[in-house]
Structure 1
Amino acid sequence: MTDTTAATDTLVIACPTDGALNRVPGARLSAAPKCGVCKSPLFAGKPVELTAVSFDRHARSSDLPLLVDFWAAWCGPCQAMAPAFARAAAQLEPTIRLGKLDTEAHQAIAARYNIRSIPTMILFHKGREIARTSGAMPAEAIVQWATANAPAR
């Protein structure tokens, strides 16, 4: 996915470490920006472990599309897809944030999005569900699916 954000556009990016909201010029997304609060990198090339607190911050408050893997520890296909999802994160950042949500630990969020089978991936943008797919995928298919469904910038 190419970054076509104009140099004057500023995006709000949630920090994967502390959830702080950071304003980053679109032209600097690829320049390894750091959180203004905790100084951690805003992009680590790996999925963010989402919680009840951080889910809404990343899904609703951040300007980046968020691809969430709804999973559970007991799910064999979820475990099999985890390395592929991590590889996809390295390829999709900084244009799409990837996050993982444990459906056992955060049942209310899973219920809110009517998660009935896992793994299920949902692509969000500014709090809205854009696309959904279920079933394990290899990294290349995750990247292709996310890129095809992500909103244009």
Structure 2
Amino acid sequence: MLEIERKFLVTSDAYKKEAFSQKRIIQGYLNSNPERTVRVRIKENKAYLTIKGSSNTSGMSRFEWEKEIPVDEAKNLLLLCEKGVIDKTRFEVKIGNHIYEIDEFYGENEGLEMAEIELQSETELFEKPSWLGEEVTNDKRYYNSYLSKNPFKNW
């Protein structure tokens, strides 16, 4: 499946009042190579194994395959992951016809807040809320796999 998404920094926590959902996420990487990232994620009481291909030149599109797995298996796989587990809360906010996923990071990435929006095409129009800041879609420093090895606190 092709994933098309754009990423933005967040300028305030106003999105928290608009959120219809918030979930804690713990994730690690079995492979953080950008050509074939393999991620293990526990999101509340569900777990997933995800494989992502490399991004296209715009940074907006890439292949993504995801499968739900038992939480106990995900916990075991997290023990095998590369150094640098990502710990965050994901807030979901509906704006117009889209849902923004805003991640508030903890631990070594404390202070980073980033919003993502999934689109049907790279040219699809979408509403931008007042708390949406600079676009960082093509900046690889904001990929979670990069943040796991090069935490925000060290920038």
Q: Could you say which TM-score interval applies, normalised by the shorter chain?
A: under 0.3
TM-score normalised by length of structure 2? 0.26
Bigger helix share: 1
TM-score normalised by length of structure 1? 0.27
Bigger strand share: 2
Higher relative contact order (CA 8 A, sep 6+): 2
